Amino acid sequence: MPRKRVAVLISGRGSNMAALIEAAKDKNYPAEIVLVVSNRPEAGGLLVAEAEGVATEVVDYAEFGKDRAAFERALQAALDRHRIDIVCLAGFMRILSADFATAWRGRMLNIHPALLPAFKGLDTHRRALEAGATTHGATVHFVVPEMDSGPILAQGTVPVLAGDDEAALAARVLAVEHRIYPLALKLLAEGRVRVVDGRCLIDGVPAVLAARSQRPFN
């Protein structure tokens, strides 16, 4: 089966992007990262992608006079030029329109640094600490028009430890992000994921059960 052609959309340092690029270096990995798009020209992740030999493009919202439709047309054109099959949002800080999300439905993933549906939005680690959560983590989910919603494909948990500050908790969660995102993309690229009634089935098994079974997903 040909490897799926993946674009990673970033706005910043791109450590999740780097984890995906790293995973895809394995010839048996079912996807290849062929494009990195940033909406910010100064995103550090662009340099990392270039050093890895991955094509990069900048689609800067500001250059489109804050015309979101024009911005998304440019984004779509970049994805078309590179014949992209799957889009992975990785710290991409622009909200995409419902039309764009719908056009990529089932083919666009996002990683969120919290155990959705808890702590949607920003400052998840601070909010988890303030809430006194004892467990925190990260979620890979399909993108739907509502922000940080959409069928959950993979989650990874970490304990919240006494004495944690935001930075310590963020670092613990980030390590989990770097594991679950490549795993989730692998499952999608292998065609093992189906969405039924808004929930993910992996190999026909609800993701929630699949995650708890002993079956290794690799």
Q: Which residues bind ligand GRF (CB under 6 A)?
A: 10, 12-17, 45, 90-91, 111-113, 138, 174, 177
How many other CB atoms sit within 10 Å of the CB of residue 165?
A: 10
Distances (CA, A) of 28 to 2, 22, 31, 107: 11, 12, 9, 20
Rounded to a whole number of angstroms, the distance between the first and last alpha carbons of the chain is 17
How many other CB atoms sit within 10 Å of the CB of residue 146?
A: 10
Candidate list 82, 112, 136, 141, residue with the active-site label = 112
By Cβ distance, which residue is nearest to ligand GRF?
91
Structure tokens belonging to residue 148? 């940080």
Q: What is the distance between the alpha carbons of residues 132 and 59, in angstroms, rounded to a whole number?
A: 39
**Closest to ligand GRF by CB, 8 or 74:** 8
**Closest to ligand GRF by CB, 60 or 67:** 60
**Closest to ligand GRF by CB, 16 or 39:** 16
Tell the smallest beta-carbon distance from residue 128 to ligand GRF (Å).
Answer: 13
Catalytic annotation present for 112: yes
Tell the smallest beta-carbon distance from residue 143 to ligand GRF (Å).
Answer: 12
Q: Where are the alpha helices (DSSP H) in the chain?
A: 15-23, 44-51, 68-81, 98-103, 124-131, 166-189, 207-212
Tell the smallest beta-carbon distance from residue 123 to ligand GRF (Å).
Answer: 11
**Closest to ligand GRF by CB, 94 or 192:** 94
CA contacts within 13 A on the Cβ side of 152: 18
Tell the smallest beta-carbon distance from residue 114 to ligand GRF (Å).
Answer: 8
The residues assigned a catalytic role are 112
